[in-house]
Chains A and B, each alone.
Chain A
Amino acid sequence: MHVLKIENLTVEIENKTILKNFNLEVKSGEIHAIMGPNGTGKSTLSKVIMGDPNYKIIEGTIKYDDTIINEYTTDERARLGLFLSMQMPLEIEGVTNADLLRTACHIKEGTNFKLFDFIKKLENNVSKLKMDKEMIHRSVNVGFSGGERKKNEILQMYMLEPSLVILDEIDSGLDVDSLKIVGNNVMDYFKEYKPILIVITHYQRLLDYIKPDYVHILKNGNIIKSGDSSLVKEIETNGYNSSEFAIKENNKDE
């Protein structure tokens, strides 16, 4: 059982406060959806958990199991089992997908790494995600469509088998068929490995496949409301500017 516990977290970038006294606790086997309007700190939250050095923690702690990881580098956090699927996966020309994944898996598994097993696992996962096998030998995300890039992120997740998965808008850029493949694969992974799963999204359509136990509404750098999946319907009906959310936000400020 793993636990991610974020307490009183205040985060700045370029002297602008993005998260303020943010609190969240998530356990293995739980799915938490984080929703909210643009620019409220959702992606910031994902990058801060992952240790992006561009973001400065002013106050508070991020704890994974018994370890405060505020000072851990991104790669150290990844080796603890944290994984972030990025909203806009980067292109890296000249570095093939296979080289990138082999390097990452080699570092993770150390002397236990076996190339033959790696190749078999890679082929199996590529097939599960209905990806073109040729993409493995192409430069990372170069010339990939939006959907292919997102599948590539899920492929990385499968290969590294993380215990904490953050999906930052994994549904953006996906057509209906790709959304189904990605959503079903995330759920298959969740059922098999029971990780902590944090899903950042704007839309209900992803949550048709990935069923959250908890839904949090993030606004102005803090959670203004939490609930079960019924909250998603409420957002779909009323949007983020409904009077109820506005009242809660005002109360929080007081």
Chain B
Amino acid sequence: MNRIIISNNQFDLNNIEYNYKEDLISKLNLKVIKNTKLELIIDKEIKLDINIELLDDVKLDFVIIKKAKTKILTKYKLNENSILNITEISDSDIINERNIINLNGKNSKINFILKTVCKNNEKYDIVINHNNIKTESNVVTNGVNISGNLYFTVTSYVPKGIKKCIVNQQNRIINLTDNECLIRPNLLIDEVDVIANHSALIGSFKDEELFYMQRLGIDIATANKLLIEGFIKSKINKNLANYLKKYWR
């Protein structure tokens, strides 16, 4: 597994070309030349611009762990037949993040899963540009707001002539407070030959789910913790979910 740990400038990379410049706004450029896995751990306060390019026919499994206050702009460029699987876990007080994903190559595909437990203020803006035919994007943003404000903006663009694309968005916030949370799900599609689905839901856990657990003798507080655990763990590797386990243990 390739690994980058920001706090101690650790770059253990194979099959990925990189350069990193630390500055007021640090810059990290990565070029993925062969199928590989990468873990990026951001564990110090930072402003960071990241550029990641996947060459033709390359697959990258990319895990991002955020443990510190961050402001990040990430631009992804996917070439023909490339596949990018992103799992992002956020556990920080303040996060301001913008992701721009350019599906430039035919048959390129992005699977983006975000899991966060929000305590203060978190804003995520994800833009997916389908710039070529037969491209596919699947974006899942899941957040539990326990004491802050959480905002998701997810925008998928398909211009006219970009046929046979698949565009999926599933955005959900479990808001356990009275604070404001917002999801802006945008599907901007100017082509008829496209499969597109989206769901956006903000709310607490369902009464039926709580009743189902309570009828087994599980009190409300414990039921909520179990449901948070289930919500965070769904669709991702259990080991990754453990980064957030303090919220249900």
Contact = CB atoms under 8 A, between A and B. Distances in A.
A108 B218 CA distance: 9
Q: Is the interface of B mostly helix, strand, loop or mixed?
A: helix
A75 B230 contact: no
A101 to B, nearest CB: 8
A177 B53 CA distance: 56
Given A86-B212, A90-B208, A100-B213, A95 B229 contact: yes
Contacts of A22: none
Nearest to B210: A74
Nearest to B220: A75
Nearest to A82: B215
Contacts of A224: none
Interface residues of A, number: 29
Contact of B219 (A75, A86, A93, A160): A75
Given A94-B229, A94-B232, A103 B215 contact: no
Nearest to B216: A104
A51 B210 CA distance: 12
A156 B231 CA distance: 22
A93 B205 CA distance: 12
Interface in A74-117: 74-75, 78-79, 83-84, 86, 89-90, 92-95, 99-101, 103-104, 107-108
Contacts of A104: 213, 216-218
Q: Which of A50, A90, A139 has the most CB of B within 10 A?
A: A90
Given A90-B209, A95-B227, A78 B233 contact: no
B211 interface: yes
A38 interface: no
Given A99-B229, A100-B226, A92 B209 contact: yes
Given A75-B214, A83-B215, A53 B207 contact: yes
B218 A103 contact: yes
A74 B217 CA distance: 7
Interface in B191-235: 207-209, 211-220, 222-223, 226-227, 229-234
A94 B223 CA distance: 13
Contacts of A100: 213, 216, 218, 226
A54 B210 CA distance: 12
Interface centre among B214, B216, B219, B222 (most CB of A within 10 A): B216
Which are the 10 A-B pairs with shortest beta-carbon distances?
A: A94-B230, A94-B234, A95-B230, A78-B217, A74-B214, A104-B216, A75-B214, A94-B233, A90-B212, A79-B217
29 contacts: A52-B211, A73-B219, A75-B216, A75-B218, A78-B215, A83-B215, A86-B215, A90-B208, A90-B212, A92-B213, A92-B227, A92-B230, A93-B230, A93-B231, A93-B234, A94-B231, A94-B232, A95-B226, A95-B230, A100-B213, A100-B216, A100-B218, A103-B218, A104-B213, A104-B218, A107-B218, A156-B216, A160-B216, A160-B217
Given A95-B229, A104-B218, A139-B230, 15 more contacts: A50-B215, A51-B214, A54-B207, A75-B216, A75-B218, A78-B218, A90-B212, A92-B212, A92-B213, A92-B227, A92-B230, A93-B230, A94-B231, A95-B230, A99-B226
